[in-house]
Amino acid sequence: MLPDQSTPQEADGQGAWARPFPVRLGEAIVALALLASALFVVWQAALLPFGRVGLPGPGFFPFALGIALGLLALAILYGIWRSGPGIGEVVFLGHRDVLLTLLALAGVALAFERLGAYVALGTFAAFLLLLVARSAPWRVLLGASLGMVAVWLFFGLMLGVRLPAGELWPQLLEPTAELPSEPSSDQPSGQQ
């Protein structure tokens, strides 16, 4: 795939958050990240049993791959350097809907086991319907609720997938359950 060549006009339509970013700078950052990964892998692989070139150990393959990736990253950087100065082509990064979706996914990962799958996914769906699909609030509520019923029917009942119920709710419903009991006089305080 070739770099995404969005025009400024397209970017305007995509939302005000998108900003032009030089492709060459992006490519250089990615190449440097690849080079850093390669060096890290070479370093870590060197700590593993290397074996011999004829009979390689567990460190041999990652070591060789690290060297190869490092060389490729350097070749990419050389290509960027050779193409001369100037901004050149740009891509638009920071699209509003993309950022919101990534943020929502991170939120789901955080809340999935704490709040429970249905609450986390319902909130996630509602968030995206409201801010990405830009739907009316009643549609958002209806869509998210029906969606969770469908999830329960399909995954819970049909496929038998056991989704987390949430760690927070038992604590909220039974606040005393987690509280420490009254210390007895003969018990050392450190064991409580």
Q: Sketch the per residue contact string, 123 through 162, with another protein: x for CB under 8 A, - otherwise.
A: -xx--xx--xxxx-------xx--x---x---x---xxxx
Q: Sketch the per residue contact string, 53 through 82, with another protein: x for CB under 8 A, - otherwise.
A: xxxxxxxxxx--xx-xx--xx-xx--x---
Taking CA atoms, 74 is separated from 25, 43, 87, 105, 167, in Å, by 15, 17, 20, 34, 48
- Chain positions 90 to 129 lying near another protein, rule: CB under 8 A, are 91-93, 95, 97-98, 101-102, 104-106, 108-109, 112-113, 117, 121, 124-125, 128-129
Q: Which two tokens stand for residue 134?
A: 């830009």
Give min distance, CB of 59 to another protein, in A. 8
Q: Does residue 26 interact with another protein by CB under 8 A?
A: yes
How many CA atoms lie within 13 Å of 53's alpha carbon, on the beta-carbon side?
A: 0
Q: Which two tokens stand for residue 164?
A: 């987390």
How many angstroms from the chain centroid is the CA of residue 55? 38
CB-nearer residue toward another protein: 60 or 187: 60
Stretch that binds another protein, among 88-96, 166-174, 175-183, 184-192 (CB under 8 A): 88-96
- Chain positions 173 to 192 lying near another protein, rule: CB under 8 A, are none
Does residue 177 contact residue 171 with C-beta atoms inside 8 Å?
A: yes
* Residue bearing tokens 């009942």: 157
Positive or negative CA dihedral for 153, 104, 33, 88?
positive
